[in-house]
A and B are shown apart, each in its own frame.
Chain A
Amino acid sequence: MEFEDISPKLVMLLYGLVGFVVVVGGLLLLLDTVPAFFGRRRERRLVAIAAGDIPAPTRRPRKPREFGYALFFLFPVLVLLAIGLVVPAIRTTLLSFMNGDSSEFVGFDNYNWMFTNDDAVKVLLNSLLWVVLVPTVATSVGLIYAVLVDKARLEAVAKSLIFLPMAISFVGASIIWRFVYAYRSEEQDQIGLLNQIVVWFGGTPKQWLLDSPLNTLLLIVVMVWIQAGFAMVILSAAIKAIPADIVEAARLDGVTAWQMFWRVTMPSIRPALIVVIVAITVATMKIFDIVRTMTNGNYDTNVIALEMYNQSFRYQQTGQGSALAVFLFVLVIPIVIFQIRNLRKQREG
């Protein structure tokens, strides 16, 4: 390879590096020197006041100064937030009221499409199924596992086994599970675990991901597999945080194992339970990777986030894609508000 061939790329790389150093270094320098400058000025002033050179300030000019400081430190964050979050949100909302190539306003047409078009409604229903099933099943599985494994031998090993899927990317997990569901015709050896099991029991192998609604359920299994570990870890920590003497008091009061779970354990871990359910719900609403990797939304498995992507970037229907995005955003807001209020209540309580 000749140097001339790659030199433009190297030059670009150099530009990038210089740009990085200038921007980041500049910011760091600014953050260091500006407060120091103010500090020194303030110090000189105090010294001057102490020496009696200038009169001590009669009223306190600190309030505006502090506001200035705050603004200075907030500025980079506010700019980044505006560029990365606020402007796109407003733009997306605007686009959702426009046609496919964003050339004219169409009012609520896109939203109308979303709730009347058969395919779009199917997408919404699928998403609903996800949001109902994943948090409940993943949390239940995580909770049951956490309770069963608590204080058992090899607890650490058992816990890391179920927690490991958390470390795998959604795409990686999807690829693994595509192998589990893989299909070969009856004459061939099965390479998919599920079909092999079916064959062992004398059944005929099946193309699992083709039939709706079973295929959506099979995709949901992947998400549950990933999220149950998360639920388990948080809930297990919450269970361990229950004071030992409360458990002992309950034993003296005469609870059975069942009553211990429902009357003592469950109420005690309620805050953690809410955190887990909310976190999984939000993650599930935004689910994209699993569906995209495993079926690409075909065979009636599509969900909101993937359809939003398809409409916007594959079919160039920016308006419809934006409408879906706005709808998703509106759905998440109440959950986030609930979560914040819940956290605040905990902090006060």
Chain B
Amino acid sequence: MATVTYSKATRIYAGTERPAVDHLDLEIGDGEFLVLVGPSGCGKSTSLRMLAGLEDVDEGSIYIDSRDVTHLPPKARDIAMVFQNYALYPHMTVYENMAFALKLRKTPKSEIDRRVKEAAALLQLEEYLGRKPKALSGGQRQRVAMGRAIVREPQVFLMDEPLSNLDAKLRVQTRTQIATLQAKLGITTVYVTHDQVEAMTMGHRVAVLLDGVLQQVDTPRELYDKPGNVFVAGFIGSPAMNIKTVPLTEQGAVFAEMIVPLGREQVAAAQANGGDGKITVGFRPEDCDLVGATEGGLPVVVELVEDLGSDANVYGHAALDGGSERFVVRTDRRTMPNMGDTVFVKPRTDHYHAFHAATGQRL
């Protein structure tokens, strides 16, 4: 059991200007399940590998509990990692794969046997212990990789996109398995994924990264309800939030024919720092209603309707401030429009997100 602390941890790859990970400050509590999420190349895997000791830390430090592990070799950090491609030893059986680390540490045979059998029981791998990895399915290999981490009884689990090689159904199933397992074992876990659904469903807290910079770290609910900046707002949630930059008046943001009311302080903040009379507002697709043609909604020409069974996502374009802007609305199945229809969209003005037009910070 341990806490993990990144303190201004920075990684700069040789020959590049921009750091892959830029002064990362992050504290992970004991037993916490923290998810690092972001688009490709945002530095999430690099951050994890820095903690694992597979990547150098060029500046700053990393602590496990109060122990400075910044320059320790991987094996001295008491961590276990699950790799994207599982990285099982192909020449060893499942049992040997799981026992390998313990064997290297000269753990007594009976102890190794007990731990491997326990982990195998936990992961329903008992009947496969004698098999080589190539005789296993993808899901089974994934579980062996988990088992290999579990038998180590490490202070921290690191998982680098462990589900990305599984098919959709198995991924959902394994997702819950991992979350349950982590809750049961109570081992601090850092989990990297590019899939925001995984991030939102598994993490106690989620850290969003972009271009090596930490954008926001919070519980999934807070992240969804109060995204800290435009990037987080657009990244979290599917379909993505409708984010538009519109003119600003004393009363609020001018959104097509509507006024999105803003507080006095918000307006003042929006005008400072080069706001230039503009403001960025965002509405989640489910925070919009389809209204009648005369009720003052924004006319949107429907281009695509995704019928999800319970409800539907409506994609279309609308004329806004002289440009054509993309809109997504989640609607009830009963009011589902057809392709080519014009629907009238009215955002609920009490469920908006406002951001500074230049800095992108939440107001």
Q: Which residues from chain A sit less than 8 Å from chain B, CB to CB? A: 243, 245-246, 248-255, 259, 263-264, 267-268, 270, 349
Please tell me if the beta carbons of A243 and B104 are within 8 angstroms of each other in the complex: no
Please tell me if the beta carbons of A245 and B74 are within 8 angstroms of each other in the complex: no
With A248-B54, A249-B81, A349-B134 as given contacts, are A254 and B87 in contact (CB-CB < 8 Å)?
A: no
B contacts with A: majority SS: loop
With A248-B54, A267-B91 as given contacts, are A253 and B100 in contact (CB-CB < 8 Å)?
A: yes
Report the minimal beta-carbon distance from B113 to chain A, rounded to whole angstroms.
18
Please tell me if the beta carbons of B74 and A252 are within 8 angstroms of each other in the complex: yes
Report the minimal beta-carbon distance from B101 to chain A, rounded to whole angstroms.
4
With A243-B85, A248-B54, A248-B83 as given contacts, are A253 and B104 in contact (CB-CB < 8 Å)?
A: yes
A contacts with B: majority SS: helix
Report the minimal beta-carbon distance from B116 to chain A, rounded to whole angstroms.
14
Please tell me if the beta carbons of B73 and A243 are within 8 angstroms of each other in the complex: no
Interface positions of B from 215 to 261, Cβ below 8 Å from A: none
Q: Please measure, in the bound complex, the distance between the C-alpha atom of A349 and the C-alpha atom of B91, giving whole angstroms.
A: 12
Using A243-B85, A253-B75 as known contacts, list a sample of 18 further A-B pairs with CB atoms less than 8 Å apart, ordered by residue number in A: A245-B83, A245-B87, A246-B88, A246-B89, A248-B81, A249-B81, A249-B88, A249-B148, A251-B73, A251-B75, A252-B80, A253-B100, A253-B101, A253-B104, A254-B75, A259-B104, A268-B90, A268-B91
Please tell me if the beta carbons of B52 and A252 are within 8 angstroms of each other in the complex: yes
Residues of A within 8 A of B54 (CB): 248, 251-252
Asked whether B84 is an interface residue with its Cβ less than 8 Å from the other chain, the reply is: yes
With A270-B91, A349-B134 as given contacts, are A252 and B104 in contact (CB-CB < 8 Å)?
A: no
Residues of A within 8 A of B90 (CB): 246, 268
Asked whether B79 is an interface residue with its Cβ less than 8 Å from the other chain, the reply is: yes
Q: Which residue of A lies closest to B85 (CB)?
A: A245
Residues of A within 8 A of B52 (CB): 248, 252
Report the minimal beta-carbon distance from A178 to chain B, rounded to whole angstroms.
44
Report the minimal beta-carbon distance from B85 to chain A, rounded to whole angstroms.
6
Q: Which residue of B lies closest to A349 (CB)?
A: B134
Q: Please measure, in the bound complex, the distance between the C-alpha atom of A349 and the C-alpha atom of B133, giving whole angstroms.
A: 11
Asked whether B105 is an interface residue with its Cβ less than 8 Å from the other chain, the reply is: yes
Please tell me if the beta carbons of B91 and A254 are within 8 angstroms of each other in the complex: no
Q: Please measure, in the bound complex, the distance between the C-alpha atom of A243 and the C-alpha atom of B89, giving whole angstroms.
A: 10
Residues of A within 8 A of B134 (CB): 349
Q: Which residue of B lies closest to A259 (CB)?
A: B104
Q: Which residues from chain B sit less than 8 Å from chain A, CB to CB? A: 52-54, 73-75, 79-81, 83-85, 87-92, 100-101, 104-105, 134, 148
What would 13 A/B residue contacts be, using CB atoms closer than 8 Å?
A243-B87, A245-B84, A248-B87, A249-B148, A250-B100, A252-B54, A252-B79, A252-B101, A253-B101, A254-B104, A264-B89, A268-B91, A270-B91
Of A246, A252, A253, A267, the most chain B CB neighbours within 10 A belong to A252
Q: Which residue of B lies closest to A249 (CB)?
A: B87
Residues of B within 8 A of A268 (CB): 90-91
Residues of A within 8 A of B148 (CB): 249
Q: Which residue of B lies closest to A255 (CB)?
A: B104
Q: Which residue of B lies closest to A242 (CB)?
A: B90
Please tell me if the beta carbons of A252 and B91 are within 8 angstroms of each other in the complex: no
Residues of A within 8 A of B83 (CB): 245, 248-249
The 4 closest A-B pairs by CB, nearest first: A254-B75, A267-B91, A245-B87, A253-B101
Residues of A within 8 A of B88 (CB): 246, 249
Q: Please measure, in the bound complex, the distance between the C-alpha atom of A264 and the C-alpha atom of B90, giving whole angstroms.
A: 9
Q: Please measure, in the bound complex, the distance between the C-alpha atom of A253 and the C-alpha atom of B81, giving whole angstroms.
A: 9
Residues of A within 8 A of B81 (CB): 248-249, 252
Report the minimal beta-carbon distance from A23 to chain B, rounded to whole angstroms.
49
Report the minimal beta-carbon distance from B329 to chain A, rounded to whole angstroms.
43
Please tell me if the beta carbons of B101 and A254 are within 8 angstroms of each other in the complex: yes
Q: Please measure, in the bound complex, the distance between the C-alpha atom of A221 and the C-alpha atom of B114, giving whole angstroms.
A: 52
Residues of B within 8 A of A254 (CB): 74-75, 101, 104-105
Residues of A within 8 A of B74 (CB): 248, 251-252, 254
Q: Please measure, in the bound complex, the distance between the C-alpha atom of A246 and the C-alpha atom of B83, giving whole angstroms.
A: 9
Residues of B within 8 A of A270 (CB): 91
Q: Please measure, in the bound complex, the distance between the C-alpha atom of A101 and the C-alpha atom of B83, giving whole angstroms.
A: 71
Residues of B within 8 A of A248 (CB): 52, 54, 74, 81, 83, 87
Q: Which residue of B lies closest to A246 (CB)?
A: B87
Q: Please measure, in the bound complex, the distance between the C-alpha atom of A259 and the C-alpha atom of B89, giving whole angstroms.
A: 14
Q: Which residue of A lies closest to B135 (CB)?
A: A349
Q: Please measure, in the bound complex, the distance between the C-alpha atom of A250 and the C-alpha atom of B54, giving whole angstroms.
A: 11
Residues of A within 8 A of B84 (CB): 245
Q: Please measure, in the bound complex, the distance between the C-alpha atom of A254 and the C-alpha atom of B81, giving whole angstroms.
A: 12
Residues of A within 8 A of B79 (CB): 252
Residues of A within 8 A of B80 (CB): 252
Q: Please measure, in the bound complex, the distance between the C-alpha atom of A250 and the C-alpha atom of B52, giving whole angstroms.
A: 12
